[in-house]
């Protein structure tokens, strides 16, 4: 069974689904993520299949009813029934018209729309402001061991996939999802090296988070313990 979906995968699937439904190409950052994430790639392929089904339904011609056979020339015409006269006192009522049968294309469009609604329920969508632009796919990597201090923890990291000029906020999170700020930076280019400075204790840190300047989560790195390299100059161990 697959583990819980990361916030990064939620953001990627949300943007990819929206672009595929609109018939727009995926940006290079999303394409790179789908090439390395089998679950996100499978979800996007499901969206493509629904879109293709919708397109085939729109292009399919509406079948015409088969013509009824004509009577043989030797057969006599059917007798015309004689209608009884309507009494003057009987009120005239408008005959009720039978509803026209719906077209086959209409049913196909409704079926495709229902499939899209089910897909939207199954795929978790990250809510974000569309006017603020696409979500960046940022990669975070630890550049060394986390260094404990009396005031918290220092974590050297490298970031890639940044948009130059945009501001990013860094945070650390514990096992219960509690977040503590760990500094911010304005991207000088697509990549940067920095140090997270957080008040959270080293042993409590379970993930490193990055948000863009619009408050959208763009990176979520689970923290796994690294092999200790011995004590630091102040006599404390690192990991």
- Mean of the pLDDT values across residues 156-176? 93
Note every long-range contact of 52-55, with CB atoms under 8 Å and residues 24 or more positions apart, other chains counting. 53/112, 53/115, 54/109, 54/112, 54/116
The more confident residue out of 58 and 71 is 58
What mean pLDDT, rounded, does the chain reach? 75
What top-level class would CATH report for the domain 139-222?
A: mainly beta
pLDDT at 234 over 80: no
Q: What is the mean pLDDT of residues 125-133?
A: 44
pLDDT tens digits along 196-217: 999 999 999 999 999 999 999 9
Whether the pLDDT of residue 173 is over 50: the answer is yes
Name the more confident of 108 and 190. Answer: 190
Q: Length of the chain, please?
A: 239
DSSP calls for 144-194: S--EEETTEEEEEEEEESPPTT-EEEEEEE-TT--EEEEEEEE-SSSEEEE
User: Could you state, in order of their start, the residue ranges of all structural domains in the chain?
Assistant: 7-61+107-132, 139-222
Predicted confidence band of residue 30 (pLDDT cuts 50, 70, 90): confident
Tens of pLDDT, residue by residue over 85-127, are 555 555 555 556 555 545 555 555 545 554 554 444 344 333 3
């Amino acid at each position: 069974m697959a583990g819980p979906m990361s916030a990064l995968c939620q953001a990627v699937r949300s943007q990819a689904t929206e672009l595929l439904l609109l018939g727009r190409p995926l940006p290079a950052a999303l394409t790179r993520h789908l090439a390395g994430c089998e679950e996100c790639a499978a979800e996007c392929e499901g969206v493509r299949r629904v879109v293709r089904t919708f397109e085939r339904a729109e292009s399919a011609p509406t079948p015409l009813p088969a013509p009824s056979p004509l009577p043989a020339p030797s057969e006599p015409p059917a007798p015309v029934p004689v209608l009884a006269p309507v009494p003057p006192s009987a009120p005239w009522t408008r005959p009720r018209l039978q509803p026209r049968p719906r077209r086959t294309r209409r049913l196909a469009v409704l079926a495709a729309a229902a499939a899209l609604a089910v897909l939207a329920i199954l795929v978790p969508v990250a809510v974000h402001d569309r006017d603020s632009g696409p979500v960046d796919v940022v990669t975070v990597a630890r550049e060394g061991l986390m260094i404990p201090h009396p005031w918290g923890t220092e974590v050297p990291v490298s970031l890639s996939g940044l948009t130059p000029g945009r501001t990013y906020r860094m945070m650390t999170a514990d096992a219960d999802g509690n977040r503590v700020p760990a500094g911010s930076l304005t991207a000088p280019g697509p990549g940067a090296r920095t140090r997270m400075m957080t008040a959270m204790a080293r042993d409590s840190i379970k993930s490193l988070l990055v948000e863009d300047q619009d408050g959208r989560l763009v990176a979520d790195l689970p923290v796994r313990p690294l092999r200790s390299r011995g004590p630091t100059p102040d006599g404390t161990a690192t990991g």
